[in-house]
Amino acid sequence: MLRSKQKPFEEILGYLEGDGRVFVLGCDGCAQASGTGGPVQIAEMKQKLEAGGKTVTGTDVIDFLCEKALVKSRLAPHTDEVMSADSVLVMTCGVGIQAVAASVNKQCHPGCDTQNLGGSRGEWQGSERCVECAECVLEWTGGICPLTACTKHLLSGQCGGASQGKCELAVEKDCGWELIYHRLKAIGKLDNLKRVPAAKSWSKKAPDVHILGTNHYALENPEMEEAKTE
Amino acid sequence: MSLRTDLESGKFAITAEIGPGKGTDITEIVEVAELLRGRVTAANVTDQQSSVMRLGSMVTCHLLHDHHLEPVLQMTCRDRNRIALQSDLLSAWVLGTENVLALTGDLPHLGDHKDAVPVYDLDSVQLLWVISRLNEGFDMMGNELAGKTNFFAGAVVNPGADTDASLDLQLYKMEAKIKAGAKFFQTQAVYEPDKFAKFMKRVEGFGVPVMAGVIPLKSVGMARFMNKNVSGVFVPEETIQKMAAAEDKTQTGLQLAAELMRDLKDLCQGLHIMPIGWEKKVPRLLDLAGF
């Protein structure tokens, strides 16, 4: 289970600047359990976006969004809604966002920050990985995580070590930043590469105060935890 | 003369790289400092080059400063988090170093401590931004400093990136580095002036001085090794053949480098010599090249 937290709505609106039409996706797995991207939150997000002047072309909540094959088959009936949108807002962990970005030829905005594993990982088998940095940067990198795709987990772009599109560490490993480059080029966002990204706030990775110290226990005993916080 | 005043006034500048040794013996560093003083504008000191543990860059820069050779502190993000990086920058400034070259740094896997954790808390672009903040009198969190730095900050670029995507990525990152505070660039080793001229055309508009990297060849094996293993370095076959045919490899290697330096001179604003063990031959190279 990957625990996620919704990004502040203003931050999401900032990402959607210039995008009038949005398709919103959630996940019935970890995001539902985290209370960030289940059916309830997706309905809420739709309302908030519409109140904010956006057109929501459609929504869906998929079980295990981390499974790319499932994403593609479940999105097939929504093809028109997705393709008529300017972008897709994904309210899940970083793996889900990357799985959607890899499946849809559209900018996929992260709606959540992934905080920690809170137990075991989701059921995905794909190449997308999330380090639960709690400050999702997928907005700027075309839905490919530089913290996991780049061997040096660089935020500002390629180092000088790539050769023929491969990482200097291992010839069989693609340079993560070249993958990001090609994705950004495909969605017309190469200018993102001119940003000077802020240093990461690793402190955000710490679990919420109310589960700090009893993380595992709390997740296994949610009703006791709720009683404690009330 | 100083690197800052030379590059800012448009005067052609030459830097040479010094790699500290493994251990506390500083005899060679002092000898090299004496040899290079007055011959180069400044000397870069590498920071645990190729991820091999050695004497530190900060103290070596201090030694050069003591011997009146202007140092350029190379600082990588591989081994220190943001607290240590900032603290070391303040310390280096206090010890007399005024130039910094911000680098991401090679992976530990390439060096002699392969199991070390790579830090990369910041990367080269963010480090440049941090240096700019220290110059303004603040740490990266906005806390005021009692006494600020005034570093002349530089960065690196790889003009020989071997895919279109990679070259574009280098140029985008170069722009981000300039935005973050880079005032000069030193490049990966160049062996093909024509290709380098094309690169310089593309970066002309950035208006930041570029110093072309020069590595004198020691042998055919070295050239072949770099072609195979060092990203962005390509020694043309013609040059390799000249080395192969040479009787005196050292003299030919230096002569080829000197020719290259003369060809590169009019294309950029400076040269950065990386002698890799041939530090003491730099004066001879400069003589051959006419500098």
- pLDDT in the model for residue A119: 47
The CATH number of residue A39's host domain is 3.40.50.11860
Minimum mean pLDDT range among A7-21, A161-175, A208-222, B63-77: A208-222
Chain B contact for A151 (CB, 8 A cutoff): yes
Chain A CB contacts of B157 under 8 Å are 160
In which band, very low, low, confident or very high, does the pLDDT at B258 lie, cut at 50, 70 and 90? very high
In a domain, A180, yes or no: no
The Cα of A153 is separated from the nearest Cα of chain B by a number of Å equal to 7
The Cα of A196 is separated from the nearest Cα of chain B by a number of Å equal to 6
CA distance linking residue B41 with residue B4, whole number of Å = 10
| SS percent in chain A: helix, strand, coil, step 5 | 40, 15, 45
Chain B contact for A76 (CB, 8 A cutoff): no
Please state the ipTM of this predicted complex.
0.84
* HSE-CB for B159 with a 13 A CA cutoff: 25
- Once rounded to an integer, what is the mean pLDDT over residues A153-177? 91
CA distance linking residue B67 with residue B86, whole number of Å = 26
Interface test mutation site (partner B, options A191, A196, A201, A202, max chain B beta carbons within 10 A): A196
In a domain, A178, yes or no: no
Helix (H, G, I), strand (E, B) or coil at A57: strand
CA distance linking residue B260 with residue A181, whole number of Å = 33
| CB-closest option in A152, A157, A190 to B173 | A157
CA distance linking residue B114 with residue B117, whole number of Å = 9
Chain B CB contacts of A165 under 8 Å are 163, 165-166
**First-to-last CA distance in chain A?**
24
Chain A CB contacts of B104 under 8 Å are 152, 154, 159-160
**Tell me, what DSSP letter sits at residue A163?**
B
Judge whether residue A121 has pLDDT over 60: no
Length of chain B: 291
Judge whether residue A52 has pLDDT over 60: yes
Chain B CB contacts of A161 under 8 Å are 106-107, 231
| CB-closest option in A152, A156, A165 to B173 | A156
Residue of B nearest to A193 (CA): B172
Interface test mutation site (partner B, options A159, A168, A191, A195, max chain B beta carbons within 10 A): A159
Domain that holds residue A72: 3-139+200-229
Report pLDDT digits (tens) over A16-32: 999 999 999 999 988 99
- Once rounded to an integer, what is the mean pLDDT over residues A173-200? 95
- pLDDT in the model for residue B227: 94
Contacts of residue B24, Cβ cutoff 8 Å, sequence gap at least 6? B55
Full 3-state SS string of A2-56: CEEEECCHHHHHHHCCCCCEEEEEEECCHHHHHCCCCHHHHHHHHHHHHHCCCEE
Judge whether residue A222 has pLDDT over 60: no
Structure tokens given for B47: 């920071």
Report pLDDT digits (tens) over B34-74: 999 999 999 999 999 999 999 999 999 999 999 999 999 99
- Residues A124 and A95: beta-carbon distance below 8 Å: yes
Judge whether residue B231 has pLDDT over 90: no
In a domain, A40, yes or no: yes
Judge whether residue A51 has pLDDT over 80: yes
Statement: B3-289 belongs to CATH 3.20.20.220: yes
Domain ranges of chain B: 3-289
Residue B142 CB neighbours (<10 A): 7
Residue of A nearest to B165 (CA): A178
Residue of B nearest to A185 (CA): B165
Chain A CB contacts of B172 under 8 Å are 157, 190, 193-194
- pLDDT in the model for residue B2: 96
- Residues A158 and A117: beta-carbon distance below 8 Å: no
The residue behind tokens 């909540």 is: A61
The Cα of B172 is separated from the nearest Cα of chain A by a number of Å equal to 6
Judge whether residue A198 has pLDDT over 50: yes
- Once rounded to an integer, what is the mean pLDDT over residues A107-127? 73
- Once rounded to an integer, what is the mean pLDDT over residues A208-219? 53
Contacts of residue B155, Cβ cutoff 8 Å, sequence gap at least 6? B101, B102, B103, B124, B128, B174, B177, B182, B184, B185, B186
Q: How many CB pairs under 8 A join A and B?
A: 96
- pLDDT in the model for residue A192: 95
Report pLDDT digits (tens) over B185-223: 999 999 999 999 999 999 999 999 999 999 999 999 999
| CB-closest option in B122, B172, B179 to A157 | B172
Which residues 157-186 of chain A have a CB within 8 Å of chain B? 157-165, 168-169, 175, 177-178, 181-182
Contacts of residue A13, Cβ cutoff 8 Å, sequence gap at least 6? A52
Report pLDDT digits (tens) over B83-137: 999 999 999 999 999 999 999 999 998 899 999 999 999 999 999 999 999 999 9
CA distance linking residue A61 with residue A42, whole number of Å = 8
In which band, very low, low, confident or very high, does the pLDDT at A142 lie, cut at 50, 70 and 90? very high
Whether B173 and A158 lie within 8 Å, measured CB to CB? yes
| CB-closest option in A158, A160, A199 to B122 | A199
In a domain, A173, yes or no: no
- pLDDT in the model for residue B110: 87
Structural domains in chain A (count): 1
Contacts of residue A153, Cβ cutoff 8 Å, sequence gap at least 6? A131, A146, A147, B120
Strands A3-6 and A112-116: antiparallel
Whether B125 and A158 lie within 8 Å, measured CB to CB? no
Mean pLDDT (chain B, rounded) = 96
Mean pLDDT (chain A, rounded) = 87
Whether A158 and B166 lie within 8 Å, measured CB to CB? yes
Q: Which of B151, B94, B88 is nearest to B119 (CA)?
A: B88
Structure tokens given for A204: 């955000």
Q: Which of A204, A166, A23 is nearest to A104 (CA)?
A: A23
**First-to-last CA distance in chain B?**
15
**Tell me, what DSSP letter sits at residue A107?**
E
Q: Which of B26, B38, B63 is nearest to B16 (CA)?
A: B38
